Chains A and B, each alone.
Chain A
């Protein structure tokens, strides 16, 4: 089977993120970047699926030339080839979904795996738009399957299960009070939740091999997509600073403060 997985470049959550004083965006200097963690989970799931059913994992990323780093990372994990949509400048979730739609039409995968959301913009929209544009079924927030196998074996098995006839896919999603299993016909769009799997490390042989794997370059123009954003970010601001804690002398003083100031007891 052929699986298309998205790999968005996002700020490494370990780096300190500051909003520019004028609220026009974030300070980019000194930031580290990585693949969106949900997308890394998607790559891992794709690799497990093709390990089981044969096939190919193609990764796609949209952005400037720096997103090639994230594509190389996915290739080092084991993805077979990459598609890079070269675009520098503003674009919103609809634009990304429109570009992905064109890539999907070109690649004709059986399955598209996206992250449920990016950890920077946190929109949780692209997967759903894409399914709608393509007219495909969608299973969002794929979570872990229950399995009786050993921890070691369980680790290698995909959580997204192909049905026996390989015509549809079963996905377990976490819902408020338990798990729901949904089935949709292939081709389909699946978005990943955090507990789906634990992505592998990029092995050094994998990193070496990734250097010679092909990255195909496309542009919005080549794909005939107008990415002029419909949504405009007006202002960014930091959450209000937390007030410093205080020390109290003893338990009665604590109780007094909780009672009179915090009014919780």
Chain B
């Protein structure tokens, strides 16, 4: 640790509190002293919860698990921006050194029709799972697959597949989009599999099935503003959306 000489910070937090999906929610204010610059944002929330418990209040519910930016569970809109708006960083990796003594910080859940709030900052993202279930895979059963090196794949293609596959499914793209579209999430999967020979057999049927599911879930249309790309903690490029659109069109021509 670079020496701990920074002074502890005092913050004013404004946090969305909502008991259940049925009840209305509201922003509540909490003062927090003694915030260390080396804490992560979630550690700061832990301290808040410890303080709430000591005052006899219920803790703020929020989703989190790995706390290292890979599981996609954490999901807070911080000062109006999903994950706080720092490039390539999830909420759990955001550190308090990016804030200053005396700051007001607004913490809200992902907001989208397809992501109903369950409690406080926790939302239901099962709609994303259902988009994958509709077609986001290669249909192979376990066993009987050819040797992994039987089919060389050009490194550049494999790298592009990996760039898209880096998506952690957090839903920040949806939260950032003014139409609450899941285009970046869905296109990342389409691009991942579309760049690999293994993904070709179902290339066009996959796109169609996933798009249908996305519409059925109540996600909006792509706004073409690339707010999703800016919010993506894994910096997935919005060019994957163009890839999806191309495959979608091609698939319709081919009548698939």
Partners in one complex: no
A: residues with CB less than 8 A from B are: none
B contact set with A: CB distance below 8 Å: none
